[in-house]
Structure 1
Amino acid sequence: MPQFKVNVKWGRTLHKEVVLDTDLEPNVFKAQLYALTGVPPDRQKVMIKGAIIKDDDWGNTSITNGSMVLLMGTVEGSSDKPASSDGEKEDPTRPKDTGEPAPVLKIPTGLNNLGNTCYLNATIQCLKIIPELRNSLEDVAKSSNQSQRHLCSGLQNLYKCMDEAHKLGLTSVSPSSLLDLWFALFPRFCELTENGTYRQQDASEAWNEIVQTLQRTMNVGPQEKSLIDKYFRGTYDVQYKCTVEGADPVTQSTEQFYQLSCFITKDVNYLIDGLKLGMTDSVTKKSTVLGTDVEFTKTSSITRLPTYLTVHLMRFYYKGEKKCNAKIKRPVNWVEFRCL
């Protein structure tokens, strides 16, 4: 990728070695500038070598390492009026001294780590902020599987406990009751190490188990539609193209998804890059013309995003020489994207 390290000058502030990727639209770079300066993209005027950069096109601007980028614009709520009689403008990045105590960040009550149980804690807390789920937990539809109702009741009781603890100013509570229920329902998560502690587990697997249980258990609306289907399911158009010339014609279909995968490589810097990698894949299936298994190129494009989009960061891969899973620690930044 043609990435450059440029210097961004905004008023009196100079940001050095900011990564600029011309393979991505200027909107992505403007989102970076928003994170650096607090100036919203719609209030930004970005200039490189005297040329104004548009939102969707870099134009013919020549960019190299060390290029100077001039950013003009103010943060939301700031004023362009001079702050002093000498005509100098106030630095919008400097917090104003109002004489009042700084506001305290209200952090929700969390869960204690009971020994490598962070994977479950993170999953539970992620689901807790979904209001539709919280409302439906209080009125769980009848299920033929008693254990499924137990999981919903366990989640509801823990969430109520966390809410009450937050009112009392407590920073965390113990999820021991739900953890016991979790191990009873899904014994494979109860593996112990040689030292007698719980083994590390994958949060994605815990997420899938909980979501699939809720999908079978929780229904909403007059047609008893699954809550998970209503709020977590998306659709995309899929095209299958045979790689063997003269074989099967191109076929189109519509498929559903409940989560997207973000594949992480050395070239992936942003979430959208990893998601795009997952939109194209090679699959092997039987050719209706040749009668044998051949390779097809599968290309997907999203037609409907769910209300709550689940993204799985593919951070683990199998190392054959060491016969173990290795973690990819490369940071992946999030920027707003419109469609894939």
Structure 2
Amino acid sequence: MTGSPVTVSVKWKKEIFTDIQIDPDETPQVFKSQLWTLTGVPPERQTIIGFKGGKLKDDAEWSALGLRPNMKLMLLGTPDESRLAPPAELPKVRNDLDVDADDENYQPPVAGPPGLLNLGNTCYMNSTIQCLNAVRPLVKSLTTYTGRPDAMNPAEKLAAGLREVFGRLKATDIASINPIRFLAVLRQVNPQFAERNNRGIFMQQDAEECWGEILSRLSTALKRNGEENQVDNLFAIKMRGEDKCDESEERINRQETVRALKCHISKSVNHLPQGIKEGLEEKIEKQSDALERSATWTRTNRIDTLPPFLVVQFVRFFWKPTEGVKAKILRNVSFPVVLDVFDFCTSELQEKLRAKRDAVRALESSSETTNTGISDDDEIVPAETGNYELCAVLTHQGRAADSGHYVAWVKDSGSKWYKFDDDKVSIQTEEDVKKLSGGGDWHMAYMCLYRAKNTV
């Protein structure tokens, strides 16, 4: 069902809420979020009566519910005092104690770019969005994307939803926005993100899985839209590898494309480059045709092409079957502000990078000014030296992937860092960011986002 918003009224206890608009292009979850805002009754506690067929279900189609203007509905349910309902936008409250309180143009101070309201265990999504918003060429590409939010294709619908969120994050006069529309689309596209616990509350999810889902859908949507695959243009890492059997002479050459490097964390890993090296050189078990049995192989990977934006994931979580949870490795692993991946590249790529690195060194040793390659955030900077500059960190605080709290730490176009703790935004220093290396229960890096930096 598509069309203009329909106005209804809802009675809850002794209150009647009039002029509530239902958008037929959105899911019932969005309508339930509106009621949560008004009443404090979270969606899982809501029983809405008045539609054809009985109670309103999350997956119901408006066309089958007899939705019409001026309908009178009834809401049953009790508020959850421990969970604050998300307002449509953060209200601009005047403080009577401020010296500017009598100024009708007074606006509350804003620490930086807008935050995102937590709609109940959605920090994994909020932190992912804030980090991806730092990839300005991706934001620019979505600005010109023509897909519709009511598209039948799930990837196109999610891309249109993210375009709307990115657009609203450009605001400079509000403290936070409500991402309920994008959340509804994300849960519709991938029901994993709509999982509830045994109390009916939406569960915490893994931010890395959310990151991967968003990029995968964006890749499909942009290609369907007739554009080149901007996602792979920005993030794709082409790898060349070899599997060598330790017990025979078998060798198998491999090629694959990934969108992130893995930082493995063992007892010998103290720094990010060490973890990346372990991730590129590992022992695996696989079938040997020569031995006609399973054998140990040495798998070696090298980077064959570098992307403008490099994502590194810390492999901090592992499955504990006895407890049925993803447990966390708390080890302190430092990460550099400038990451050099030259040593992880194929010899052919190293030759290409070496020529540029030598040229840059020659310029830097002279009086000429070198171009860092990061002056225009909206433009794609090719990775020509193998050096990258840190521009965002997604952290996790807690002991398990499906619990705890995710936060985004993002650098602006200058040298200022912002901490996006859902709707709470604060200014940080580079030294604050360096402390996110782990070793305890404080926020620790889970994903690092680097941007090509063509200096050495």
Q: Please give the range of the TM-score, normalised by the shorter of the 2 chains.
A: 0.5 to 0.7
AA aligned opposite 1:127: L
Superposition RMSD in Å: 2.7
Corresponding residue for residue 158 of structure 2 = 151
**1:220 touches 1:226 (CA, 8 Å); kept in 2?**
no
Superposition deviation, residue 213 in structure 1: 0.5
Superposition deviation, residue 324 in structure 1: 2.4
1:263-297 CA-partner distances (Å, limit 9, x unpaired): 12333221112111111123344434344443321
In 2, Cα distance between equivalents of 1:264 and 1:318: 14
In 1, Cα distance between equivalents of 2:334 and 2:254: 32
Classify 1:318/1:135 alpha carbon distance in 2 versus 1 (closer, same or farther; 3 Å).
same
1:109 equivalent in alignment to 2:114: yes
1:60-107 CA-partner distances (Å, limit 9, x unpaired): xxxxxxxxxxxxxxxxxxxxxxxxxxxxxxxxxxxxxxxxxxxx9963
1:238 equivalent in alignment to 2:245: no
Corresponding residue for residue 209 of structure 1 = 213
In 2, Cα distance between equivalents of 1:145 and 1:297: 45
Classify 1:173/1:133 alpha carbon distance in 2 versus 1 (closer, same or farther; 3 Å).
same
- Runs of 4 or more consecutive aligned structure 1 residues displaced over 6 Å after TM superposition: 141-144
In 1, Cα distance between equivalents of 2:142 and 2:273: 33
**1:220 touches 1:227 (CA, 8 Å); kept in 2?**
no
SS of residue matched to 2:257: strand
AA aligned opposite 1:225: E
In 2, Cα distance between equivalents of 1:292 and 1:193: 43
SS of residue matched to 1:157: helix
Corresponding residue for residue 161 of structure 1 = 168
Matches within 5 A, 1:32-43: none
Superposition deviation, residue 304 in structure 1: 2.2
1:160-219 CA-partner distances (Å, limit 9, x unpaired): 22212xx21x22211112111221221221122234322111001111111110111114
Classify 1:114/1:142 alpha carbon distance in 2 versus 1 (closer, same or farther; 3 Å).
closer
Corresponding residue for residue 203 of structure 2 = 199
Corresponding residue for residue 61 of structure 2 = none
Corresponding residue for residue 257 of structure 1 = 258
Corresponding residue for residue 327 of structure 1 = 328
Superposition deviation, residue 333 in structure 1: 1.5
Greater RCO, 1 or 2 (C-alpha within 8 Å, sep 6+): 2
1:129-177 CA-partner distances (Å, limit 9, x unpaired): 212211221333669952222111111111222212xx21x22211112
Matches within 5 A, 1:4-153: 107-140=112-145, 146-153=153-160
In 2, Cα distance between equivalents of 1:274 and 1:285: 23
SS of residue matched to 1:200: coil
TM-score, normalised relative to structure 1: 0.61
SS of residue matched to 2:309: coil
TM-score, normalised relative to structure 2: 0.47
Corresponding residue for residue 289 of structure 1 = 290
**1:141 touches 1:218 (CA, 8 Å); kept in 2?**
no
In 1, Cα distance between equivalents of 2:272 and 2:242: 23
**2:147 touches 2:159 (CA, 8 Å); kept in 1?**
no
AA aligned opposite 2:210: A
Classify 1:194/1:287 alpha carbon distance in 2 versus 1 (closer, same or farther; 3 Å).
closer
Corresponding residue for residue 229 of structure 1 = 232
1:7-40 CA-partner distances (Å, limit 9, x unpaired): xxxxxxxxxxxxxxxxxxxxxxxxxxxxxxxxxx
AA aligned opposite 2:228: K
Corresponding residue for residue 377 of structure 2 = none
In 1, Cα distance between equivalents of 2:189 and 2:316: 27
1:249-270 CA-partner distances (Å, limit 9, x unpaired): x343433221111112333221
SS of residue matched to 1:181: helix
In 2, Cα distance between equivalents of 1:312 and 1:182: 22
SS of residue matched to 1:252: strand
1:205-234 CA-partner distances (Å, limit 9, x unpaired): 11111111011111499x943112211111
In 2, Cα distance between equivalents of 1:282 and 1:257: 19
Corresponding residue for residue 175 of structure 2 = 171
Classify 1:149/1:329 alpha carbon distance in 2 versus 1 (closer, same or farther; 3 Å).
same
AA aligned opposite 2:139: R
How many residues align? The count is 231
Q: Which runs of 5+ in 1 are unaligned?
A: 1-103
AA aligned opposite 1:200: Q
In 1, Cα distance between equivalents of 2:309 and 2:145: 20
**2:320 touches 2:326 (CA, 8 Å); kept in 1?**
yes
Classify 1:284/1:145 alpha carbon distance in 2 versus 1 (closer, same or farther; 3 Å).
farther
In 2, Cα distance between equivalents of 1:319 and 1:251: 32
SS of residue matched to 2:138: helix
Q: Which runs of 5+ in 2 are unaligned?
A: 1-108, 345-456
AA aligned opposite 2:159: C
AA aligned opposite 1:179: L
In 1, Cα distance between equivalents of 2:276 and 2:191: 32
SS of residue matched to 1:163: coil
